[in-house]
Structure 1
Amino acid sequence: MEFGVLGGLSLTDGGGRHLPTAPKQRQLLGLLLLHANQVMPTHTCVAEIWGGHPPLSAATTLQTYVMHVRRLLARLPSVASRAAARARLRTVGQGYLMVVGPGELDLLRFENLVERAGRAPAGDDAAVAGLLRGALALWHRPVLADVRTGPVLQSAVTHWERRRLEVHEAYLDARLRLGCHREVLPELAVLTRGHPTHEPLHARYMTALYQVGRVGDALDTATRLTQRLVQDLGVAPGPVVRRLQSVIRDGGSMPVPALAVPGRRPA
C-alpha cells in the first residue's frame, strides 16, 4: 500500500488506485495523512472541515466520514477486513490516528531521505546532492493540490511547501559546492521568478551566474531584487547580497558557503 500527499492525494494498493470521492472525506484523509502516526483531536478535524461555524451534528458527521474511510480501507487487497481497517485508522480517546509505515507515505520517504542527507559525512556533497535530489523527486505538485483545504490543512500545506524550498536550497548549495554552476542555473531562474523577494535564492543565482562569466546578468539580478524588495516590502537587500555585489563588481573570488543541510545534526 502506498499513500501520496506530495501532489494530489493518492492511495495505491494491488496495482489499483483507491480514494474517497466525497470532498470532505478526501479532506479528512488528507488531514490524517499529513499528520500520519499522530493523534488528530476530534475538534481539530471539525475545525478543518467546517471552519469556525460547524453544524451541531459535526461530531456525529465526522464519525460517519471516518466510517466511510475505514470501509474504503477494508476493501483494499492488503487490508481486506474491517478489523485491519480499524487498526489502520484508529480511534484514540477523542481523536483519530492514521497508522502508516515508513515506506508507505511519500512524505515520510521524503523526510527519511533528508535525514540521511543530514547524516552524510561532512564534505560529501555528492552524497548530499544525490539524497536531496531523490527527496525532491517525490514532489509532483503542491501538497494535496486536488484537495479542498480548511484552516488546519492550509497551515500544514504552507509548512511543507516551506520545507520543500528549504530542502531545494540545500540541494542547490551542494551542487554549487560541487562546481555545477551552469547546471543549476535553470532551476535558480525558475525559483527566483517564483520567489522574487527571497534573498538567499537570489544570492545563489548571482553566485552561479558570476561563476559562469555572466557578470552583467548577476548584477541585473541584484538590481531586480533590490527593486522588488523596496517596492513590495520597503526594505533594502541584506549584507549577503550587498557583499556579493561588491565581489562581482571587483571581480573577486566567490566561495560557496557551506550552508546547513536540513536534518544535519550539529557537530
Structure 2
Amino acid sequence: MEFGVLGGLSVEDSDGRHLPTAPKQRQLLGLLLLHAGEVMPVRTCVSEIWGEYPPPSAATTLQTYVMHLRRLLARMPSVGSREAAHERLRTTGQGYLISVRTDELDLLRFEQFVGQAGRATDDYATMARLLSSALALWDRPVLADVRTGPVLQSAVTHWERRRLEVHEAYLDALLRIGRHRDVLAELAVLTRRHPTHETLHARYMTALYQTGRVGDALDVAARLTSRLARDLGVAPGPAIGRLQSAIRRGGSIVAPFPPALPSVPGLRRA
C-alpha cells in the first residue's frame, strides 16, 4: 500500500487507486496523513473542515467521514478487513490517528532521506544523492488537489518551506563538489520564484562566476538590489556585498553556505 501527499492526494495498492471522492473526506484524509502516527484532536479536524463556525452536528458528521474512510481502506486487498481498517485508522482518546509505515507514505520517505543526508557529514556527494532522492518524491505542492482549511493550509505552508530548505541544501552540496554548471538552471528558476531571497541569489552568483559568467553574476546582484529596494525598502545584506567585491576582484570563491539541514522538521499545531 502506498499513500501520497507530496503532490496530489493518493492511496494505491496492487488493486489500483482508492480515493474518496467527497471533498471533505479527502480533506480529512489529507490532514491525517500529514500527521501520520499522531492523534489529531476532534476539535482540530472540525476546525479544518468547517472553519470558525462549524455546524452543531460537526462532530457526528466527522465520525461519519471516518467511517467512510475505514470502509474505503477495508475494500483494499492490502488491508482486507474491517478490523484491519480500524487498526489503520483508530479512534484514540479525543481524536483520530492513521497508522502507516515509513515505506508506505511519501512524506515519511522524504524525511528518511533527509535524515540520512544530514548524517552524511562532509560527504557532499552522498548528501547530494540522498537529497536528490528526497526531492524526486515531489511533483507538485503538497495536497495540490485537496481543498485546504486553516489547519491544512498551515501544514502545507510548513512543508513547502521545508521543501525549499532541502532544495537549498542539495544545491549547496553540489556546489561543494564543484558541480556549478549543474545547478544553473535550477537556481535561475528559484531566483525568479523567490526574487528577494538573498541566499538563493548568492548561490546563483557563485555558480555563474565559477562557470566564467562574471557579468551575469554581477547582473544577478544588481537585480536583487533593485528588487529589495523596490519591494521591501532595504539593501542586500553584507554577504552579497562581499560576494560582489570578490567577483569584481576575480578572487577565489567557494560555495557560500555549508549544506545545513534541520534534523527535526516539526509542525506548528493549530
Report the TM range for the smaller structure's normalisation: over 0.9
Alignment of 1:1-267 (within 5 A): 1-120=1-120, 122-257=121-256, 259-263=258-262
Using the size of structure 1 for normalisation, the TM-score is: 0.97
Alpha-carbon distance in 1 for matches of 2:167, 2:211: 21
Say whether the 8 Å CA contact 2:206–2:256 is kept in structure 1.
Answer: no
Q: Supply the AA of the counterpart residue of 1:77.
A: P
Residue 87 of structure 1 deviates from its aligned partner by 0.4
RMSD across aligned positions (CA): 1.1
Say whether the 8 Å CA contact 2:202–2:240 is kept in structure 1.
Answer: yes
**Bigger CA drift: 160-169 or 226-235?**
226-235
Alpha-carbon distance in 1 for matches of 2:260, 2:232: 28
- Cα displacement string for residues 112-141 of structure 1 (whole angstroms, at most 9, x for unaligned residues): 000000111x32111000000000000010
- Cα displacement string for residues 16-46 of structure 1 (whole angstroms, at most 9, x for unaligned residues): 0110000000000000000000000000000
Q: Supply the AA of the counterpart residue of 1:75.
A: R
Q: Supply the AA of the counterpart residue of 1:234.
A: G
Q: Supply the AA of the counterpart residue of 1:175.
A: L
Residue 257 of structure 1 deviates from its aligned partner by 3.9
Q: Which runs of 5+ in 1 are unaligned?
A: none
Q: Supply the AA of the counterpart residue of 1:101.
A: R
Residue 192 of structure 1 deviates from its aligned partner by 0.5
Say whether the 8 Å CA contact 1:170–1:262 is kept in structure 2.
Answer: yes
Say whether the 8 Å CA contact 2:90–2:96 is kept in structure 1.
Answer: yes
SS in 2 for 1:103: helix
Stretches of 4+ moved more than 3 A in 1? none
Alpha-carbon distance in 1 for matches of 2:138, 2:239: 30
SS in 2 for 1:96: strand
**Bigger CA drift: 10-19 or 134-143?**
10-19
Alpha-carbon distance in 2 for matches of 1:15, 1:161: 31
Say whether the 8 Å CA contact 1:117–1:263 is kept in structure 2.
Answer: no
Residue 261 of structure 1 deviates from its aligned partner by 2.8
Q: Supply the AA of the counterpart residue of 1:9.
A: L
Q: Supply the AA of the counterpart residue of 2:218.
A: L
Equivalent pairs, count: 264
Q: Percent identity?
A: 75
Say whether the 8 Å CA contact 1:125–1:178 is kept in structure 2.
Answer: yes
Residue 263 of structure 1 deviates from its aligned partner by 4.4
